Structure 1
């Protein structure tokens, strides 16, 4: 019943396709009534819950489809290709995007450990996939509904918003994706910290030795653990993050040269070569052909 109520709430608050901000920081609603082919995107730490229709995500060549039977938990920034190829007026996509706050998630994990609350291994996807899926359970559905019911009343949001977000985070940690999320947000996860650092410094030179040193690991150990957590080597990951971010910026109207510089490329020719190798089009062709609804990836 909660899921149907959530859908009704979303339908009543969205007037057009794309992402719609709510009065709660980090919480957005989205709708798609036309197909959107998979395109480069970056999933920031978040949970994406679908209440109608289905979304697709491609990570390192592997394709995943998820709908209202399971939500996606992405605790680390990940370069993906994503879209809604099956959306139509007769089969619209409705969903909720909830950003995961590093500080709050880590605090909750520590509090749960102190209280002796066990985090279930669950049946979600293994950590090697870069993100995980979890079945909707009653606790998650109820917490998400209570969060969205705050609506547009600023007083309610100011007084109850943080508490209800914590309630949703707690439901995630208690659910099938709990162990996966705790491995990323726990105090000892050096790989997650490395990814967070990379995401903030894409326009700067990044070396594997520097990342390994920051993680307190040898280069070989860092490379192995990084690939276990993301499916990609550190160099491949950085390149994918840069090119995906550049593709999104170009699709959003930025010039090719500006986008290349924004993500750390000093050579336009190198950027063009690597872009075409990854997407099969030159940056200029991409600029002419792509029209991504803001945030819908």
Structure 2
């Protein structure tokens, strides 16, 4: 017997759609924190029952908005606010500082996070022969925009599939494609398209990010990275910082520290081994940089996070 809760029909009003999406997200997030939807790997929810302090994190290429509550994100020197009517689009994996602004136990912050597969983006661009963006629009790989009703409806339909898992294999790819298409056709979708234009600056910086992620634990040779993406060292530095808010070396450091945090959360107890695993050969430096980013020494930070998620 199917015991899945009945899914309501698609509400007609914007407020109704938002409330229905929040209700589903609330059911699938029993505790605060991040919740990956195994049935739909591109989809995850975040729940906070109170406003948060500023937290450093890495945002992947994604569409993000609040089904309930609001949050402010800082990237580079700019800040971005999103809520139930505004979304955030990240077009490159990048470090951000986030702070949940509106949340309570009765009305928790509930975030819809849709990770974008750039291969799907490339397929859509090629299939529909979308015009290439103007190179001059290259900038920080994050932007905010108004959440259109069409995009909200598509996000709700994807979320709604969680209640009818037998339909996910057929319908989820179609709705994911619709979400990406609507983003590409919006003014905020230009940066996504830039990342796919061969030999564009955005394309080269995306390749540089991929290379750093694949070799983050190794000593970085900037001249080698510049050759890999066919840029001069000075041009790489300038455009990498334009896109991510960090230099390549700073970006690598963030990757190392976030991976160290992930390992510590898995109950790794030897900080020295963790530091060495992510590329640090100086334990004191690792302690200093970890505390500077996360606000507490490695073990203390890991214990706090485990306690918060318990």
**Is TM-score (shorter-chain normalized) higher than 0.5?**
yes
CA contact 2:80–2:143 (8 Å) conserved in 1: no
Q: Hey, what does 1:43 align to over in structure 2?
A: 59
Structure 1 position 144 matched with structure 2 position 159: no
1:98 aligns with 2:85: no
Indicate the larger mover: 131-140 or 75-84.
Answer: 75-84
Pairs aligned (count)? 287
Distance 1:127 1:250, change over 3 A: farther
Give the equivalent residue in structure 1 for 2:239. 225
Higher relative contact order (CA 8 A, sep 6+): 1
* Structure 1 position 287, deviation (Å): 4.0
Deviation at 1:289, TM superposition (A): 4.7
Contact in 1 for aligned 2:63/2:115 (Cα 8 Å): yes
Alignment of 1:27-42 (within 5 A): 27-42=43-58
Which residue pairs with 1:155 in the alignment? Answer: 166
1:54 CA displacement = 1.1
Q: Show the counterpart of 2:210.
A: 196
Report the 3-state secondary structure (helix = DSSP H, G, I; strand = E; otherwise coil) of the residue aligned with 1:28: strand
Looking at structure 1, the residues matched to 52 and 266 of structure 2 have their Cα atoms a distance apart, in angstroms, of 15
222, 228, 250: which one aligns with 1:214? 228
Distance 2:308 2:124 in 1: 34
Structure 2: give runs of 5+ residues left out of the alignment: 1-13
Quote the offset at 1:248 in angstroms.
4.5
- The 2-side partners of 1:36 and 1:248 are apart by 20
The Cα of 1:200 is off from its aligned counterpart by 2.7
Deviations 1:37-69 (A, max 9, x none): 222211122221212101232324644332112
- Equivalent pair of 1:50/1:68 in contact (CA under 8 Å): yes
Structure 2 contact 95–244 (Cα < 8 Å) conserved: no
- The Cα of 1:190 is off from its aligned counterpart by 0.9
The structure-2 alpha-carbon separation of the partners of 1:276 and 1:3, relative to structure 1 and needing over 3 Å to count, comes to closer
TM-score (norm 2): 0.81
Equivalent in 34, 47, 56 of residue 19 of structure 1: 34
Q: Aligned match of 1:5 in 20, 38, 45?
A: 20
TM alignment of 1:62-141, pairs within 5 A: 62-112=78-128, 114=129, 117=130, 127-141=138-152
The structural deviation recorded for 1:293 is 5.5
**Structure 1 stretch displaced more, 249-258 or 103-112:** 249-258
Partner of 2:183: 172
The alpha-carbon deviation at position 17 of structure 1 amounts to 2.3
Matched with 2:277 is 262
Structure ID, larger Rg: 2
SS of the aligned residue for 1:81 comes to: strand
In the alignment, the residues of structure 1 paired with residue 197 and residue 100 of structure 2 have an alpha-carbon distance, to the nearest angstrom, of 32
CA contact under 8 A between 1:120 and 1:175: conserved in structure 2? no
